[in-house]
Amino acid sequence: MNKGLLIVLSGPSGVGKGTVCTELRRRHPELIYSVSATTRSPREGERDGVNYFFKTREHFQHMIATDALLEYAEYVGNYYGTPREFVEKTLAEGKDIILEIEVQGALKVKEKFPEGVFVFLLPPSLNELKQRIVGRGTETQATIDHRLSVAVEEMNLLYHYDYAVVNDQIDSACSRIASIITAEHCKRERFLHELFRELQELTPAQNGTER
């Protein structure tokens, strides 16, 4: 059985990764979502085990020490990380899994899973990005300023990704990501191994069974 695809959706802070990912999952319920662990406090309406696994710093550090995370990053004073086992199990079952994570973590995933599909979400413009960070209304001014400077640095990391998707409209951004996933499933490498195996079975000479 073919392994599932590991899809990493990343991009600068405030570009709308969360919104696009939620809509993509609504449209494609077959896409498995990797719930991250974090040390930040839950926002209103967020549920443990659904949006994040909310952890104490001590528990998170224990997860790091026991290699329970595929990657982790410290972002604006909090830890965020991807639980490893769930990702590996899902891929082995042949299912696609999507990670919605910030750029440093995405680069670490790329080191371990270079065969992953790395999608960078771009804002329609830098001004738009600023409006989105300010407009979220849930953060203090100091946090907003920090997030803005981080976002500009993050834009430079586009180079490491396989695909760039402009988040101009959620609908079309989702459609483009879905097309990328479809195209990745059609890569010839995903068929070669199985095809050669079947061909060998069909060709008696190569099995040594020819008379």
- Positions that interact with ligand 5GP (CB under 6 A): 13, 17, 36, 40, 71, 73, 75, 80-82, 100-102, 105
Q: Which residue is nearest to ligand 5GP (CB)?
A: 105
Q: Is 137 left (phi over 0), alpha (psi -120 to 50) or beta?
A: left
- Burial zone of 137 (CB within 10 Å; 0-12 exposed, 13-18 middle, 19+ buried): exposed
Q: Which residues are annotated as a binding site for ATP?
A: 11-18
Q: How far is the CB of 103 from ligand 5GP (least distance, A)?
A: 8
Which segments of the chain does DSSP mark as H helices, in order? 17-27, 57-65, 84-92, 103-112, 126-135, 141-155, 170-185, 189-202, 204-207
In angstroms, what is the minimal distance from the CB of 106 to ligand 5GP? 7
Residue 82 or 181 with smaller CB distance to ligand 5GP = 82
CB of 181 to ligand 5GP, least distance (A): 19
Residue 164 or residue 195: which is nearer to ligand 5GP going by CB?
164
Nearer Cβ to ligand 5GP (144/185) = 144
Contact 1, 94 (CB under 8 A): yes
